[in-house]
Structure 1
Amino acid sequence: MAGLHPCCDPTSPSAIWEGTPAGKIIKIDGIETYVARPDMLDGRSKVKLPTLNQESSSRQQFNRVILFLTEGHGIYLPNAQLLADSFAAHLGCDVIMPDQFAGQARLDKDQRPFFPPGKEPIPETVPWTEDKDDPNYELRGIRVPLKENTETSDVYPFRKPPWWQKDESAEEFEAWKGRHEPAVTDPLLARVVKYIHEEYGQDVKIGGVGYCFGGRYVIRLMGSGVIDVGVVYHPSFYTMEEVRKLVKGKRLAIYAAETDDILPPKKRRETEDILKETGTTWTSTVFSGTTHGFSVRGDLTVKEVRLAKESAFRGAVSWFKEWL
């Protein structure tokens, strides 16, 4: 890697989608976790979340849960929270989105779009979605004209977290990534899975959705038998050995970008070949005019990007409804 990849760079341009997240942050065995529930989205009501083992019987009425694993920016990126809300609304089940980076996501919880005092711009409204059934639709504001091209817009620059090294090198980024490899992340996610089983029952069906970095861990959890149905968006850093652990009976949907140096066409096609060999039920979709990160940080004023983001989201909803 020649330099810091923009997929994990909080100073890189990234559109902040319009909408007010309705979920809540709880702690699961010390892990900060964003939880979205259908009842939270009904009139945007304030719902008190139960702690572990409280109201367990009421939560166990749900026979499925979505485990949402984020890309490198983590659970405090507003777009990720809005997506979690939308999955909860459309699937009618709870969505559990843990901080798989243990407090060192590329954006920390105090991260917000930042401008020097007196320099705050008056932003144009960025539409959230064309889908009027989406729970965030009414809060998205007015529409702006679509740009029928694939240019990238610098909507809001991100402020770096306090722990960020100035002018971080590729070596420093690799060191960060190394701190979140399977040896560290797998045990953390095991604690979250344990919570899900205790809170929702041992027979709960867990669906996994993962973006970029999180996509690898959805694949790993499928290979270990924790998840049978998964959806991954431009997944990153996974190995072919991890893909080979997916066998007949597993169901995986992949949504990829046309231009993605982390998931280039060669690796994606090799992945598809292995899925075919193992007998996995799978689908793979590539959207033209998109780059890595389109499904969670794309500029929704660009027609191609918005179409891809919405199509990929609806595809995931359909995939879970059919198989989970």
Structure 2
Amino acid sequence: MADQTGKHTKCCYTGFKHEGEAQGELTTFAGYDAYVTYPENRSTERAVVFLSDVMGHKFVNSQLLADEWAKRGYFVVMPDLFQGDVIQFNDIQTIDFPKWYSGGYNEKNIPHTPEVVDPIVRDVIRELKEKYGVKKIGGTGHCFGAKYVCRFLADPENGFQVGYFVHPGSLDYEEVEGVKGPISIGSAEKDPSFPVEKVHRVQEILLKKGLPFQINFYQGVGHGFSTKGDPNDKVARWAKENTFEQAVSFFNAFL
């Protein structure tokens, strides 16, 4: 969660790689590198734009989760939001996050901020509609991606009709206030980026808006539990699986 200046606070980037073989493909979508996975019937009527955490579209945990969405009947596109400048799994505890966020690790010094990321998401949505004939589009955001779920729920006609995010990283209250579509949220007990007082503030904002929304609070887990939780830990595994079911149920109802 962002502070009042909008600066990213330090996330507890820890976690586990998950086992499994991704079923989708790495390709180009709307001019960007992406991971794309189809439902069994290859339908593109309903789509999910999967906005990943800082490990990007090639991280197997995120790919496996995208595949689960496809198994539930959704066409899924997970674009590279970082132009290749992702944080590697082995570096998540040592990276200088503010330096990365400002583009300090890539040769072109391209920052990972809305003026750079918004056009990527916008182009993907346009491609879904114009080339694939998608009628309904939902956005899911994990950590970094959460911010952009809110930003593109501010204009459901041209953005997302329904959204879900979990353990957000950088997120301003103003972005939550701009939401104009149904939204589902997952939060963790041990998350300095989205502590309970900020969860309550987001709840207050959404209550005043009168839109369908859901906030689930998961005890015993921390930031990143939806994609990097320990599969051998009973509580972590349950939280990971449950927040996914939470999101699918919400999308099935409102998308």
Give TM class, smaller chain: 0.7 to 0.9
Residue 18 (structure 2) pairs with residue 17 (structure 1)? yes
SS of 2:168 mapped into structure 1: coil
Aligned to 1:10: none
TM-score w.r.t. length of structure 2: 0.87
Contact map agreement 2:101 2:113 (CA 8 A) in 1? no
Gap change, CA 1:301 and 1:38, over 3 Å in 2 = same
CA distance in structure 1 between the aligned counterparts of 2:19 and 2:172, rounded to whole angstroms: 35
CA distance in structure 1 between the aligned counterparts of 2:53 and 2:123, rounded to whole angstroms: 19
Residue 84 (structure 2) pairs with residue 103 (structure 1)? yes
Gap change, CA 1:192 and 1:302, over 3 Å in 2 = same
Shift of 1:85: 0.4
Identity of aligned residues (%): 34
CA distance in structure 1 between the aligned counterparts of 2:247 and 2:97, rounded to whole angstroms: 33
Q: Kindly provide the CA deviation profile for residues 269-300 of structure 1, in whole angstroms up to 9, marking residues without a partner as x.
A: 11110101111210100111000000100111
Aligned to 1:275: 206
Q: Kindly provide the CA deviation profile for residues 244-267 of structure 1, in whole angstroms up to 9, marking residues without a partner as x.
A: 1123xx110001101111111111
Aligned to 1:32: 33
CA distance in structure 2 between the aligned counterparts of 1:259 and 1:277, rounded to whole angstroms: 27
Aligned to 1:151: none
Q: Specify the code of the residue in structure 2 equivalent to 1:210.
A: G
Residue 63 (structure 2) pairs with residue 78 (structure 1)? no
Consecutive unaligned residues of structure 1, counting only runs of 5 or more, are 8-12, 43-58, 108-157, 162-166
Contact map agreement 2:15 2:224 (CA 8 A) in 1? no
Residue-pair matches, total: 241
Residue from 177, 185, 188 that aligns with 1:244: 177
CA distance in structure 1 between the aligned counterparts of 2:130 and 2:28, rounded to whole angstroms: 15
TM-score w.r.t. length of structure 1: 0.69
CA distance in structure 2 between the aligned counterparts of 1:240 and 1:3, rounded to whole angstroms: 14
Gap change, CA 1:94 and 1:3, over 3 Å in 2 = closer
Aligned to 1:217: 148
Residue from 230, 234, 248 that aligns with 2:167: 234
1:249-260 matches, cutoff 5 A: 250-260=181-191
Gap change, CA 1:2 and 1:93, over 3 Å in 2 = closer
CA distance in structure 1 between the aligned counterparts of 2:98 and 2:160, rounded to whole angstroms: 33
Contact map agreement 1:4 1:170 (CA 8 A) in 2? yes
Larger Rg: 1
Consecutive unaligned residues of structure 2, counting only runs of 5 or more, are 1-6, 105-109
RMSD over aligned Cα, in angstroms?
2.3
CA distance in structure 1 between the aligned counterparts of 2:96 and 2:152, rounded to whole angstroms: 31
CA distance in structure 2 between the aligned counterparts of 1:62 and 1:321, rounded to whole angstroms: 15
Residue 47 (structure 2) pairs with residue 65 (structure 1)? yes
SS of 1:200 mapped into structure 2: coil
Aligned to 1:185: 117
SS of 2:18 mapped into structure 1: coil
Residue from 69, 72, 97 that aligns with 1:87: 69
